[in-house]
Structure 1
Amino acid sequence: MIVKQYADNIQVTEVCRIFFIDLIVNFCILKKICEILSRIVTILRESSSLVLNIFIQLLQNMGRNILHVEFLNFVRNILLLFSKDIDKPVLNLFLIVLQKFRCLFNGDMQWLKNHVDMVEDVANFFSQVIKKLPNIIHQCPDEEFILFIELIKNGIQLHEPGTLKSISTFTSNFIEYTKSDQRTINLLQQNGFEIVQILLQVRFTFNDYLQ
Structure 2
Amino acid sequence: MMLMNAQTDMEVVGEAADGNEGINKALELKPDVVLMDLSMPYGKDGFFATAELKKEMPHLSVLILTMHDDDEYLFRGLKAGASGYILKSAPSQELLHAIRTVRKGEAYLYPTATKRLIEGYLNFAEKEEQDSLDLLSSREKEVLSFVALGYSNKEIADKLVISVKTVENHKAKIMEKLQLTTRPQLVKFAIKKGLLDLDE
TM-score, normalization: structure 2? 0.29
Q: Which of structures 1 and 2 has the bigger CA Rg? A: 2
TM-score, normalization: structure 1? 0.28
The structure that is helix-richer by fraction is 1
